[in-house]
Amino acid sequence: MVEKIIIENLCIDYGGVHALKNVSLSVKEHEILGIIGPANSGKTSFLRALNRLNDLDLSSHLSGSIYLNGKEINREMDAEEVRKKVTMVFALPIPLPMSIFDNVAYGPRRHGTKDRKRLAEIVEKSLKAGFLWDEVKDRLSSSAMKLSGGQQQRLCIARTLAVEPEVILYDEPCSGLDPISTAKVEDAMRELKSRYTQILVTNNVKQAARVGDRVAFFLMGELVEIDEANRIFTAPKDKRTNDYLTGRFG
């Protein structure tokens, strides 16, 4: 498979406090890479570096290289260009305070799609891909804030799909959801595999096992191990991975 993202010697610190130390790994096209690790292991910093959301934190400092399709994202691309191709679904669902339709149409509209019919098509397609269409098709003009938590999170996925990204990052997308909503979000992720590269940060080791093709284990800002999901869960090479997976800490 083609390597979609290549990360070389990535280091991040926030005002001198190291969050990530010398991480090198690559993400293959159309795979789901699960990232696990205890709190403060640098998972979220890693994810936010991939679409340059770390730029917003003025105290953050980054070194190393991140290549998307062979282009270095910090030196050879605009932040907007990166974020359009590498979108992000956050831990808590963040619907914008507008209607369901407007939420999904928000990205395409800002990127210049004005035609109503075209927008309607994009919204329908995205909501279907996000497994939400059947639940909301009759009330697209009602407020997105009235949806349940799980629906809101799938709306956020649909919203990111509407800008036609290449990579989707998930930052613990199910941390606030019940098991049934979680299952629906996971279904959506599996369904999206054929078209998108996905990176899933999760606190839930079992979730990484359920949906991840490969899994990376982060600890204290270092990448301890990255391997095929079935191998890392059955025969981890590093003792620390084994300890974490068996619940000795974390």
Partner 1 sequence: MKIRAKSHLKISTQTQQKIAFTFLGIASILVIVPVIVIFVILIQKGLPAINWQFLTAMPRMGMRAGGIFPAIMGTLYLVSGTIVVALPLGVLAAIYLVEYARQNFLTRMIEVAIVNLAGVPSVVYGLFGMGLFVIYLKLGVSIIAGALTLAIMILPVIITSSKEALQSVPRSFREASLALGVSKWQTICCVVLPNALPGILTGTILGISRAAGETAPILFTVAAFYLPRLPKSIFDQCMALPYHLYVLSTQVPNVNPKIQYGTALVLVGIVFLLNLVAIIVRSHIRSKKQW
Residues found near partner 1 in the complex (CB under 8 A): 51, 53, 56, 58, 80-85, 87-88, 90, 92, 94, 96-97, 106-107, 110-111, 143, 145, 156, 159-160, 163
Q: CB-wise, 56 or 180, nearer to partner 1?
A: 56
Give least dist CB 227 to partner 1, A.
Answer: 29
Q: CB-wise, 58 or 180, nearer to partner 1?
A: 58
Q: CB-wise, 90 or 233, nearer to partner 1?
A: 90
Give least dist CB 109 to partner 1, A.
Answer: 8
SS (H, E, C) the chain: CCEEEEEEEEEEEECCEEEEEEEEEEEECCCEEEEECCCCCCHHHHHHHHCCHHHHCCCEEEEEEEEECCEECCCCCCHHHHHHHEEEECCCCCCCCCEHHHHHHHHHHHCCCCCHHHHHHHHHHHHHHCCCHHHHCCCCCCEHHHCCHHHHHHHHHHHHHHCCCCEEEEECCCCCCCHHHHHHHHHHHHHHCCCCEEEEECCCHHHHHHHCCEEEEEECCEEEEEEEHHHHHHCCCCHHHHHHHCCCCC
Q: CB-wise, 4 or 83, nearer to partner 1?
A: 83
Give least dist CB 242 to partner 1, A.
Answer: 35
Q: CB-wise, 5 or 82, nearer to partner 1?
A: 82
Give least dist CB 226 to partner 1, A.
Answer: 25
Give least dist CB 206 to partner 1, A.
Answer: 26
Give least dist CB 60 to partner 1, A.
Answer: 14
Q: CB-wise, 33 or 82, nearer to partner 1?
A: 82
Relative to beta strand 167-171, strand 60-68 is unpaired
